[in-house]
């Protein structure tokens, strides 16, 4: 995903005039009657403006092109209305959708000439208002005056947010470029999906609905067993049909996500490296107070608590004569309880820490996440199935918060990898969707849904509180932070153990982030002292003052903290810089490892280091941005060569593929003084 995003940026940068023309055409098309209904103009304009926010394009030409396009588009629509007058109602597609013109006409009569300016910002009437203005005979001079002035406001309202988004993504992308690329991809997909749904609802759905009803009516008339099955499942007059479609699509999508996760984890793909990096990062946030909170939260997902909540809900359903719903809920949770250990036994993915035995000793998928998602999503559907939309939002929001809290606690306590939790959530939601699918025709209002919610919450508080209280000492010991370290001798490390350590920086998404060119078992204090003597400087602190400098377009490079890059979920323990020009500097970052070197009875932690170049840019002259890039291997060796002769350490180099790794180790301790009267040479007879 990072490749296609960079490819799009490169294409726009290499052809800035085409970018301006695309902005013009998009702004124009979005304002033309009918055409504007099919063009995702806002998404395109924001996307191109984001490239300007990255500092790759000039902003003002885009504003001019967008303004001209908006003026031209409204002008074309006005001319169409002015030329064809009332005859436009009889043409396609307004003949099929007369309510569109009527809506625009009512809007125009309400706001008069200002409707041209106001309507430009109102979805649904934007492209039709200029046509109405032409039909009703609005004077051209007045129309174009309002058209031009409103376009001068509309263009910045679309271009500037996109540029700001590009600026923000540029800063985040410097820290975790691939994660940002994934985020951008998700946002683009979501935007296109929303546009497609909007397009379908407005233009495709009405005709499709008519044909769909005719098809079902034909099935009812024919009456064969196939026709009866179609009517039973897809009758548009049946309120459960929409649930069938939505939940059916959800089950298929969730199943595909789960299978993809299981395949990647089983094949030890990039996701396993991402798991390790994120887990290490989260472990760095642990505190005793937060441990207590997370242990209490994770107790709410323990088997005894889930069983108590399920029992309370099932009993309530039986009391209110909803036995099928009760049996279905019980079977859903039994299926969750059975499938999780079965999958764990088959995949056999070890946990981050050892806390259980048997099938539960394995990690994928998370049982807590699976049961929480299945239970609370099912209960949310039961409680809000026949409720208004706002209550559906409230119900599923409560279920989502509860499920997310339990899932997050599993990652925080190192009981599961992030992929385990994600897989558990997809499995649990799929089971809940199947439950809703089976009982889609149920009228849940007869069972007192909100009283059921009260019973469930009361049971959860009592059972969860009792579990947390009685099991807290054991849980505190089971989930205590583990520190796993490996100690080797200097001879073992220098003799070949160095090759077992990471050769590339590990990004949070599991990808490689550049070469690690240096290993050192020297203390950070000695490294700092030797590097300062070699011309390096301590990096500016990443405090509030330093970070605030990025908001100024005039911030000096030597006042800005380097980008907080991570390796395997760890932040750098020491960062040194050396300026190479007014807008660039070298950055040497040292990351701690869990490996210690024992020499002369004193262990010292091994640190891995990377050397990169940071350059500064000032996009839009509104802020300051840093860009980090790797240095060529041959250039790195030349830059590291002066470090070899320092008295603070001994330096050795090792070949690794087509590059070399510099090893810095503590200097040999001085030889003890010889006792008086002895010499190291032979004595005369």
Q: Which helix (H) or strand (E) holds 510?
A: none
Report the DSSP beta bridge partners of residue 515.
504
The predicted-structure confidence for 298-327, as pLDDT tens digits, reads as follows: 999 998 999 999 999 999 888 888 888 889
The predicted-structure confidence for 364-421, as pLDDT tens digits, reads as follows: 899 999 999 999 999 998 888 777 778 888 888 999 999 999 999 999 999 999 999 9
Question: Is the pLDDT confidence value at 171 over 90?
Answer: no
Tell me the C-alpha distance between 401 and 94, whole Å.
Answer: 45
pLDDT in the model for residue 239: 58
Q: Give me the percent of the chain exceeding a pLDDT of 90.
A: 19
Q: Which helix (H) or strand (E) holds 375?
A: helix 367-384
Closest CA to 628 of 570, 560, 547: 560
The predicted-structure confidence for 525-582, as pLDDT tens digits, reads as follows: 888 988 888 889 998 887 777 777 777 778 888 888 898 888 988 999 999 999 888 8
- Output DSSP code: residue 598: E
Determine how β-strand 486-489 pairs with β-strand 584-599: parallel
Tell me the C-alpha distance between 321 and 316, whole Å.
Answer: 9
How many Cβ atoms sit within 10 Å of the Cβ of residue 636?
21
Confidence of residue 425 (pLDDT cuts 50, 70, 90): very high
Q: Residues 6 or more apart from 644 whose CB is under 8 A from it?
A: 651, 653, 662
* Average pLDDT of the residues in 435-439: 85
Dump the DSSP string for 59-126: HHHHHHHHHHHHHHHHHHHHHHHHHHGGGGGGSTTTTT-HHHHHHHHHHHHHHGGGHHHHHTTSTTTT
Tell me the C-alpha distance between 417 and 274, whole Å.
Answer: 9
How far, in Å, are 252, 369, 376, 428 from residue 365 at the CA level? 18, 8, 18, 10
How far, in Å, are 144, 512, 518, 644 from residue 579 at the CA level? 55, 26, 20, 20
Confidence of residue 282 (pLDDT cuts 50, 70, 90): very high
Report the DSSP beta bridge partners of residue 603.
598
Please check whether residue 665 is in contact with residue 490, taking contact to mean a CB–CB distance below 8 angstroms: yes
The predicted-structure confidence for 321-358, as pLDDT tens digits, reads as follows: 888 888 999 999 999 999 999 998 888 888 888 877 77
């Amino acid at each position: 995903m990072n490749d296609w995003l960079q490819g799009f940026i490169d294409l726009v940068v290499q052809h800035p005039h085409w970018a301006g023309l695309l902005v013009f055409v998009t702004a124009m098309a979005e304002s033309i009657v009918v055409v504007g209904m099919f063009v995702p103009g806002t998404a395109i304009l924001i996307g191109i403006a984001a490239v300007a926010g990255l500092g790759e394009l000039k902003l003002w030409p885009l504003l001019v092109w967008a303004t001209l396009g908006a003026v031209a588009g409204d002008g074309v629509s006005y001319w169409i209305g002015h030329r064809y007058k009332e005859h436009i109602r009889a043409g396609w597609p307004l003949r099929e959708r007369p309510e569109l013109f009527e809506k625009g006409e009512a809007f125009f009569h309400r706001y008069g000439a200002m409707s041209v300016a106001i309507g430009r910002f109102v979805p649904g009437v934007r492209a039709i208002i200029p046509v109405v203005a032409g039909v009703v005979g609005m004077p051209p001079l007045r129309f174009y005056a309002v058209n031009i002035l409103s376009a001068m406001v509309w263009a910045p309202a679309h271009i500037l947010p996109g540029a700001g988004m590009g600026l923000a993504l540029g800063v985040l992308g410097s820290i975790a470029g691939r994660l940002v690329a994934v985020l951008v991809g998700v946002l683009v997909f979501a935007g296109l999906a929303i546009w497609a749904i909007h397009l379908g609802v407005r233009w495709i759905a009405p005709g499709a609905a008519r044909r769909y009803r005719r098809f079902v009516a034909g099935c009812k008339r024919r009456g064969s067993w196939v026709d009866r099955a179609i009517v039973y499942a897809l009758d548009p007059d049946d309120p459960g049909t929409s649930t069938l479609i939505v939940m059916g699509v959800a089950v298929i999508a969730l199943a595909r996500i789960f299978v993809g996760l299981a395949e990647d984890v089983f094949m030890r793909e990039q996701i396993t490296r991402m798991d390790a990096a994120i887990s290490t990062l989260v472990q760095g946030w642990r505190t005793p107070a937060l441990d207590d909170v997370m242990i209490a939260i994770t107790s709410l997902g323990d088997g005894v608590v889930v069983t108590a909540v399920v029992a309370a809900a099932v009993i309530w359903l039986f009391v209110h004569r909803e036995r099928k719903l009760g049996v279905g809920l019980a079977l859903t949770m039994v299926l969750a309880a059975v499938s999780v250990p079965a999958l764990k036994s088959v995949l056999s993915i070890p946990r981050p820490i050892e806390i259980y035995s048997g099938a539960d000793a394995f990690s994928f998928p998370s049982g807590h996440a699976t049961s929480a998602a299945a239970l609370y999503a099912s209960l949310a559907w039961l409680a809000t199935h026949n409720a208004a939309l706002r209550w559906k939002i409230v119900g599923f929001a409560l279920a989502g918060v509860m499920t997310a809290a339990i899932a997050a606690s599993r990652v925080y306590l190192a009981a599961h990898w992030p992929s385990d939790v994600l897989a558990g959530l997809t499995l649990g939601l799929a089971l809940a969707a199947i439950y809703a699918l089976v009982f889609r025709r149920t009228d849940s209002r007869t069972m007192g849904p909100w009283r059921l919610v009260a019973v469930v919450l009361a049971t959860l508080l009592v059972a969860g509180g009792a579990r947390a209280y009685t099991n807290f000492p054991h849980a505190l010991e089971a989930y205590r932070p583990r520190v796993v370290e490996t100690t080797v001798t200097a001879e073992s490390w220098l003799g070949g153990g160095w090759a077992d350590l990471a050769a590339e920086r590990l990004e949070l998404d599991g990808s490689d982030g550049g070469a690690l060119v240096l290993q050192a078992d020297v203390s950070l204090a000695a490294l700092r002292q030797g590097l300062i003597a070699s011309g390096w400087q301590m990096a500016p602190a990443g405090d509030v003052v330093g970070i605030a400098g990025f908001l100024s377009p005039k911030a000096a490079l030597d006042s800005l903290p380097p980008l907080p890059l991570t390796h395997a979920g760890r932040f750098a323990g020491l960062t040194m810089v050396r300026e190479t020009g007014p807008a660039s500097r070298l950055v040497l970052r040292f990351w701690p490892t869990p490996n210690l070197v024992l020499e002369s009875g004193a262990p010292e932690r091994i640190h891995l280091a990377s050397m990169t170049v940071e350059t500064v840019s000032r996009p839009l002259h509104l802020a300051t941005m840093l860009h980090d890039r790797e240095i060529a291997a041959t250039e790195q060796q030349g830059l590291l060569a002066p470090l070899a002769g320092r008295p603070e350490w001994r330096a050795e180099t090792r070949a690794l593929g087509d590059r070399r790794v510099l090893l810095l180790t503590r200097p040999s301790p001085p030889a003890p003084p010889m006792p008086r009267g002895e010499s190291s040479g032979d004595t005369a007879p």
